[in-house]
Structure 1
């Protein structure tokens, strides 16, 4: 019988407890939806990609990437060269590019798929990039040894260092060299030296004319022979005349 008042108390308080919990559930703020992924914001936060950000903006590749990130089911992967990587380029390497080639250079740093660092250990080379030319997409090659992953363009090779972001739909990796596509920066084959001019071959006419010319030795030999023959004739005639007179 002593438990009866306790039971009545619990039954009396239950509706109030339910209303209290329900009220708190309605007033609790819902988690804020995640906003669109901002590539330039990620780069700007790290503070050493000002040149890459400027090129992304000037070429409008930043806007293209923003649209793809938020609409693609494959995601994207971006290799971000540091400011120091751009400073190590040869003088005039960027200024000498046309606007179209600058776009190709920046798109060469973008893969049309999301890759983790572990994915690069098993990819089939070459891996297609967003850059393309008359012969099709430009490619990159990846090699892995242990936990180290290297990327090569055929002109430069560098290690993939820091993962600035590795969460679908966007992966951003820091690189210490600008990835120069071979299609734009490949070494040209040296110009072959002109062949030496050939001297004109001797014609049969020239050969015959040379053969017909008397050699100096022939001229020198004929002089004494002719003199000795003439002298013999004179002596012979003299002897004949002396015989006739006697």
Structure 2
């Protein structure tokens, strides 16, 4: 028995060495790679019902601007995304009447250059600056009010509720809104389009009202002269008859 134990001992030692070598030789698990850059279009596509907003982000190139800035800014960003129904509820032709620059301003108005949680929006100082600010010298701001835990956003022209969050992790927050945020600076009552010039008057010294009510024409003057001559001739004939 002692001989058997002595014979097995080297084999057991070799097995232990072999197992320890196998364990050591196993490759370590790969370290997690860097997180994928934040992409606003991918977030909206995952949420669904944002086809029109995605289209405008692409045609105005604001989407690329958001992706670049949000991945390089320490402040983060906040996007308020109108649903497709929100765009359908606009008056017909609202978007088509806007120039390309105005469409850019409209989409930038839905983006704030700072990351806000819903709790932040409950107590934020108004107005909140948007990316549209300063493009034409105007301050395009949003005003937020709270009703309990509900947050409302107002442009001065429209007001709606800030709905659920498509994303709420830094550096980008994306919130759903049920109306397109139309800035008062572009759509308010004070925004009056230039009136077309009226027709020119025939005479520069006479207004339209004067032309309508104006002085007697030459034809009316001639009529009065003819009436006067007829009356005078009638009196002459009458006198002649009396004399005869």
Q: TM-score, normalised by structure 2?
A: 0.68
Which one is further off, 140-149 or 128-137? 128-137
What is the distance in 2 between the residues matched to 1:114 and 1:189?
31
Change (3 A) 1:61 1:20: same
Match of 1:185 in 2: 187
Whether the 8 Å contact between 1:130 and 1:137 is mirrored in structure 2 is no
Report the alpha carbon displacement of residue 189 of structure 1 after superposing the two structures with TM.
7.9
What is the distance in 1 between the residues matched to 2:77 and 2:17?
53
What is the distance in 1 between the residues matched to 2:53 and 2:121?
23
What is the distance in 1 between the residues matched to 2:86 and 2:148?
25
Report the alpha carbon displacement of residue 135 of structure 1 after superposing the two structures with TM.
3.0
What is the distance in 2 between the residues matched to 1:164 and 1:177?
16
Change (3 A) 1:77 1:189: closer
SS at match of 2:73: coil
Alpha-carbon RMSD across the aligned residues, in angstroms, is 2.6
Report the alpha carbon displacement of residue 136 of structure 1 after superposing the two structures with TM.
3.5
Change (3 A) 1:118 1:88: same
Superposed CA offset, 1:78-130 (max 9, x none): 00000000000011111110110000000000000011101011110000000
Match of 1:113 in 2: 114
Whether the 8 Å contact between 2:138 and 2:185 is mirrored in structure 1 is no
Report the alpha carbon displacement of residue 188 of structure 1 after superposing the two structures with TM.
3.2
Change (3 A) 1:23 1:62: same
SS at match of 1:131: coil
Change (3 A) 1:55 1:17: same
- Write out the 4+ residue segments of structure 1 that deviate beyond 6 Å after TM superposition: 11-18
> Larger Rg: 1 or 2?
1
Unaligned runs of 5+ in 1: 1-10, 191-196, 198-246
Q: TM-score, normalised by structure 1?
A: 0.68
Report the alpha carbon displacement of residue 21 of structure 1 after superposing the two structures with TM.
4.9
SS at match of 2:79: strand
Superposed CA offset, 1:134-174 (max 9, x none): 33431000011221001000011111111000010100001
SS at match of 1:105: helix
Count of equivalent residues: 184
Superposed CA offset, 1:49-72 (max 9, x none): 000000000000011111101111
Alignment match of 1:174 (pick from 161, 164, 176): 176
Match of 1:150 in 2: 152
Match of 1:135 in 2: 137
Whether the 8 Å contact between 2:81 and 2:174 is mirrored in structure 1 is yes
Report the alpha carbon displacement of residue 15 of structure 1 after superposing the two structures with TM.
7.0
